[in-house]
A and B are shown apart, each in its own frame.
Chain A
């Protein structure tokens, strides 16, 4: 479910920052997770080698994607899994609808799948009269609140427990004013238990699909994917084409990295392997492209497809922590979302690669070593050349370029700039100057260094 909006990241972030206490709370909560990640990583002496191995395995996958996909399809089919191919979101959604229609059900349970968020599956199915209940606790909370997830691993990280109590009061009938996490979790557990027992179709995501064996692995902490899939007659698994790994032994690399990077846990509570349907049950896999092959063809951006969706880049991002996931107005927020989204729609997401200071922390925590901040820089070049830069910025840049490539003009402009600040501070110290809104301007010195140098060092 992606919010329809015309506001850009800067405006949405500004709104988020109106409540500074909430920003502090959001920042500290995610920073705590980043610290847990650090502790966990530092317990593995070979951590950096593990990242390098994961990166290389994924590079191999991306370079041989066609072969691995065909191998996976063949092996999965031999195991009795039905494989479907979807070129885009619409086709994916249509296939899901067709499968639930064939199963003659109008209610489905779904565990976490960012791909279905990307495809807008819930809204699509709702229009077809199919009710979808998200079974991941965080996703269920935002679903009840009619909001998109704000984080790919922690979908309701932007909600405080008091707010969750209020949502449960309104939708699940508990008393008002309850914020005890244990009570709230138990409430959700009872509610979801009834859902699991009555749904005949279950959809899950896929964390890893093993080409060698035709099996796939779903990682959750709540066991909700297993509960849904095991109790349903039909299990539909949606995966992007990049989820492949060549062999089962490679799981050892990725499972060690995934949750340590995500939450600091050594491994997810449940890492469930699905290989073949049980007697009388069905498993379908939908393999989705939706722009991924286009990204694969972009030399500078292809390795963004190595992403295993751990969200470490979000937790470490000082901008994400202080602007909130919804400010990115796309299914996958944060630094990784900012290099994936422009591939889908350059115009709509032109603001996202600029929502970064290029500090580089994201690339350092990435378990598969995606050069995220360098891709942010490269997307800026692509977007500007494609004509998606604001006009004012364009004109300003042109003036700046003329000035800075001419020493004479530069020294003149510098002098004028300093004089303006010195003698007419109102000209810059006003509300139209975004620097000055919350910061003072530097004290203008009497002379520049170049003037001083001429006086003091040159003969």
Chain B
């Protein structure tokens, strides 16, 4: 099944390569990977979607922790989360079908961010299904090109997600067994 992992990593050159290389080296397929800054200086956050079973994710967590630049790893999969993907879709349009497309865009609560006589760019944010839904509906009009950011995710609720600390006996949440500390 798909697991959504979040890794807090040091913001240093080559860290993305180390993480990506680890997945390749250990024969895990990355479905999606995004990376960006956090509110803390020097720490980036990666959201990685990987297709694996629970044992595989435990191994992966342990391997991620072996990377010196990886500070914390979370598995958001069992939690209630908000996950978002952003897509821009350039659709081919004719004067006569443009209103239809605009209607569809409205239904999906997407936005048009660029218009020409023969095309428009739709920007849509949402979870994967929503974006795939919109893509399906737009396909018949002719998609000229499309780009997606990949999933970013966050657990619901007031507190940050407890880090996984793989100790060989399954996942142990923070506070119960010396979790790695931030900063």
Is the A/B pair a real complex?
no
